[in-house]
Amino acid sequence: MGHRIQFISIYLQVFLLSFLFASEDVYQFEIITTRNGLSDNDIRAVTDDKYGFIWLPTDEGLNRYDGYDVKNYNSNPFDTTALSGNRIWDIFKDQDGDIWALTDKGVDLYHYGKDSFQRFPTASRPTFLTQDKEGLLWIATKNSGVYTIVKNTGKIVNYIFNPSDPYSISSNRFDENQCNPIVVDTSGNLWIGTTNGLNYYRKDKDFFTRFMSLDYYQNSISSNHINTLLIKDNNLYVGTSQGLDKINIGDLSIINRLAGTSWISMLGTYTVKQLLDFGPNPTMNGFWMATTAGIVYYNETFDLFDDLMWDYIFGQNINKMYVDPSGNLWVDVLAFPGLTLFDTEVFFAQMGLVLDDNFKLLQPDKNGVLSETTEPSSFTNVKVNDLYIDEMSNMWVATRVGLNQRIKTTQNFITENNLTGSNVSALKIAPDNSIWAAHENGVDQLSKDGHVIESFTADATNSNSLLNKETGPLVILHDGRVWAASQSLGATLINPIAKTYQRFYEFIDETSGSKLRGKVNSIFQEYVENPNGSSYENIWFVTTAGIIKCTMSEQAENAPKFYIYEYDDSVQNNYLSRPSAIIRDLETGDLWVGTESNGLFRVKIEISSRYINDLQSKYEKIELVKHYIIDKNDPKSFSSNSVNTIVSDVNNNIWIGTSGEGLFRYNRENDNFDRWSIDNGLPSATVVSIISDNSGGLWFGTRRGIARLHTDGSVRVFDNSDGLPADIFNTGAVDINDNGILYFGSVQGLTRVNPSQITINKIMPKLAINLVETIDYEGNRSFIDFTNNQISINHQVQTLNINFVGLSYNKASKNQYQYTLDNYLNNWVDNGTNRTVTFQRLEPDNYNFQFRASNNDGIWNNNPYSIEIRVKPPIWQTWYAYTFYFFAFIGLSTSGFYGVDRLRRKSLENKRKDLELSEAREFQLRMIAKKIPDYEGMDIKAFMRTSTEVGGDYYDFFELEDGSFYAVCGDATGHGSQSGMMVSITKAGLAGIESNSPDDILNRLNKVVRRVDTGRLRMSLSVCIFKNDKLYISAAAMPPAYLYSAETQSVEEIEIRNLPLGGLDNEQFELVEKSFNKGDILVLLSDGLPEAPDLEGNLLDYQPVMDCIEKVAHLGAAQVKQSLIDLADDWLDGSQNPDDITFVVFEKQKNIDLKAQKELEEEKNINKVAQA
């Protein structure tokens, strides 16, 4: 009987412990693939470095992930700092936290500050890499033995099998299926398992002792093919294809074959594939053993081997095992994809107790995303290659179809999916915690667990239904009836018990009989207790046409009574038009009223008298207390015109949500407002709903998610990653139930959250630099080495860009950043979610750049990352330059007089040249037209911007005898005074030519220029005449003219190919005739704009000019001119144009009388001069 009681006691203890220790963790994953930037989906391994970057080797190169972006690294045979090969087999993090990549050709060490690799070649592919206690790297290879690398010096030593040397390694061969074939024992010596024998390497003696399998000798290892090694205390465990062996490190002569003796396999299979220590556990010591027939564990305390008995592990061929920091076991089983998790807490607590509830199966779906399942399936071939848990407890699973990342924080918001509509415009919680939700299909009543109790909708053929389906604000009365406002006009009073509906298309005043029709924007409910009679409720309807008070008795049979509040112009209440929200101030009794477009009002209700049918009666009217509008001299004034919602919290604080200006709180003492905006952490400047939770925190629905204002003033933002169904939430659609659960209505459904169950990510992000680069004056980008967090740049650097990152991997897009630059900035600068900072033209000096980051929940890493920046001075400002100056001064002092004289003469010469250029520029400007004619309704706009030197551009207008005129636009070759001389010759020649044909004008002018010996100087010129809705144009080596047709709304390029003036004596110039009607536009231009270079030396070209004209020509000549100027400014980007930019725009407007035209010109007497 005593034994039975003891057994029952133990059983109950085990049962309670298993219930207590049962894992409640939910394992949700998201996948990162080539769509996110990976070079390949088949990821062979995963690890992080000391900075927190995640490294992923593939067949298509190496990938580095920072939570935002993936950076790809590839091999380049011509770049020794690139990877030695694209096929990366494995990745290793050394004791310094640096990364080594195992390629086909060797191992490559990544240098963080240089963003490059150092190659260490091996004769065959490396299969395994480890590091001993002294920091020496050991590399096993396919068939070229073992290599060691001294990291600091780069020294490489190769240990290979020598048949004539018994102290050499037993074999050169290793394979990739071995697990830990090289281990370091407690003495610092190494054990190396090859595919042909085990080796013990004495570092002090520098020789190998071989251990081989001998069939006739039991005191030998069970097989020469070593699969795995494990050091436990002073023993070495050797897993082979034939069993498990134990070697006492202190006495190498004692070898115990454990297979078939201490370890009896239930299935008679003894192939050991992997040995894995239990990890640090105070209650049980031992190790796991992966075999071809399941998992065996060794309990060192009891010296006992036993099988892990679970249906989907026992008897299965095990690929690999992983132990997480909590001691849990993760298993990759060959028969089915995914992973099996064994929660070992009960197992270790009860010295080997295995319960089915402690196992979980995680298998990939069709997209490769791991999720929990109850039954294993082999429908996909998604093999798990590696599992890694980083220092921030992020879990990473490398598979053949991408990288699975465990989502650590579950979604805080849950969306109700049972509604009959999606756009939840209003909601209310009933006393029984049922939820009433209004939407585009009517109203749904949901139970507190989200099931539909009843739906209410509209029926055009049945008056006992809603006014229409599109329903807005709701109010639940104390007697259970519900007001449901229409989204168009009126409201419906629903009696859910009697199933009756009362429709109100319009509201009729109880006393005056006046009527009001309008859309109900919001409803405010107040309960009035009457100690001398029945209590009642005031329901305030805020409509687009005014404000209505509805008094409702507690007796359901009583009909509602409406009171319409008319505006009194004498107190400017007419400005209180289109109200949007209303609330009672419980401290003053006043009403706060917000409007759609005229700000915020505080009003009170006064009793007044009026006559109706010659009878005096009393009525209530609105009296203005104060209208709150912006005062530009007072930052505490109310600065919004559009009010969305007004609420009062538990402390009677008045909160106002607005459109475009954020959130306001009323300060009673000073009669002003505090404001929160995007700068204070709000996700949007539009706040549509406000509610307090049970802890005093304030919640807001916005146009960009939901925000929570904590009592300490911090703001937390929730978005789609937290489970929100949409970013946009609806005005006033929020409520809270008796259990403190908040409900929000959005354009995509109803969502709820329990504030007390929201988890906070308390893990600070790690800080690292992604990139430092400079940009010079020509726009060239250069990578800057930031090794040891120090950079040095010269004074000629125009721009310094630093890209940094806070590594947390949990909703990283919400991470916030701040930076400062000592010796340049005085404070920390908020950078929002931006991870790049740019500094322009830093002066030569020493600076210290620092940045810090917060995680998604606002937990900051206040230990900033620092980089020392040195901007080197120009050589003439260095100490050795000043030394040179000193001795040069002594040496030159004797000849100083002559030097000063030379400098004086050079200065005079420079002044003479500057004066000459200035005079040439003034001469050029005198050559162009002083007056732009206004002829036949022609709107003419001209523009010239000279270059640093005079470029020779020219335009002018010449009147003909018949009252018409011709226009010219040209460009002389050369610069300075020579081009000015060419322009003066052209202008003089044109003044002496009487002709009304452009080609004839050019023919004659060419002969004039030919008669003047101008050497190599030439003149390009376009000539055009407008007559009788026609355009006549000819040109000498000028760029194309552009003709816009108002009828076709298209631009035609008129290109005339001729030599410049002064070329050939017998040159004949072509004449082109085109229609030129009302609204048509002609543009003549020099080559200065199309051939203008940008900062990188690229020319603008003619097509962008033509596109610019075509885009705006319908707006007229003035707009064409301005658009071409803007095009030049944007392209040059502040640089000086190297050649003159000139164009003339002609627009045909309307025909007017010539005589009237001349009189008009005399009256205006206005000069329209185009100048640079």
Residue 573 — very low, low, confident or very high, per pLDDT cuts 50/70/90? Answer: very low
- Average of per-residue pLDDT values in the chain: 87
pLDDT band for position 1062 (50/70/90)?
Answer: confident
How crowded is residue 603: how many other Cβ atoms within 10 Å of its Cβ?
A: 22
Confidence of residue 367 (pLDDT cuts 50, 70, 90): confident
pLDDT at residue 550, as a whole number: 92
Q: pLDDT at residue 7 above 80? A: no
What's the rounded mean pLDDT across residues 768-777? Answer: 92
Longest dimension (CA), the chain: 138
* pLDDT band for position 366 (cuts 50, 70, 90): confident
Each residue's pLDDT tens digit, 643-692: 999 999 989 999 999 999 999 999 999 999 999 999 888 999 999 999 99
DSSP state letters, 172-218: S---TT-BS-EEE-TTS-EEEEETTEEEEEETTTTEEEEE---TT-S
For the stretch 592-648, pLDDT in tens is 999 998 899 999 988 877 666 667 677 788 888 999 989 989 999 999 999 999 999
Least confident interval from 615-629, 969-983, 1101-1115 = 969-983
pLDDT at 919 over 90: no
Amino acid letter, residue 137: L
Q: How far apart are CA 429 and CA 434, in angstroms?
A: 6
Q: Supply the pLDDT for residue 988.
A: 83
| pLDDT-based confidence at residue 929 (cuts at 50, 70, 90) | confident
Assigned CATH class of 928-1164: alpha beta
Q: Name the residue ranges covered by the structural domains of the chain.
A: 29-406, 766-877, 928-1164
pLDDT band (50, 70, 90) for residue 178: very high
**Please, are residues 485 and 467 in contact by the beta-carbon 8 Å criterion?**
no
Please tell me which residue, 859 or 1157, carries the higher pLDDT value: 859
Tens digit of each residue's pLDDT (9 = 90 or more) over 68-107: 999 999 999 899 999 999 999 999 999 999 999 999 999 9
Residue showing tokens 């259970």: 480
At 732-758, the pLDDT tens digits run 999 999 999 999 999 999 999 999 988
| Phi, psi of 330, rounded to the nearest 5 degrees | -115, 130
Candidate CATH numbers 3.40.50.1820, 2.160.10.10, 2.130.10.10, 3.20.20.70; the one for domain 29-406: 2.130.10.10
Best CA proximity match to 856, nearest among 830, 829, 833: 833
Confirm if 595 and 611 have CB atoms less than 8 A apart. no
Q: What tokens does 607 get? A: 């009793």
Contact of 767 with 804, CB cutoff 8 Å:
yes
Evaluate if pTM is beyond 0.75. no
From residue 438, give the alpha-carbon distance in Å to each of 395, 482, 754, 835: 42, 11, 22, 42
Q: What is the pLDDT of residue 240?
A: 97
Q: Which residues contact 989 (CB under 8 A, 6 or more apart)?
A: 1004, 1005, 1008, 1009
pLDDT band at 885 (very low <50, low <70, confident <90, very high): low
Distance CA 374, CA 750 (A): 31
pLDDT at position 553? 79
Correct CATH for 766-877 of 3.40.50.720, 2.60.40.10, 3.30.420.40, 3.40.50.300:
2.60.40.10
Q: Which residue has the higher pLDDT, 960 or 650?
A: 650
Per DSSP, what are the bridge partners of residue 103? Answer: 88
Confidence of residue 447 (pLDDT cuts 50, 70, 90): very high
Identify the pLDDT of residue 6: 41
Compute the average pLDDT of residues 304-333: 95
| Fold agreement (766-877, 928-1164) | no
Mean pLDDT of 1122-1139: 88
Q: Is residue 340 a contact partner of residue 314, using CB atoms and an 8 Å limit? A: no
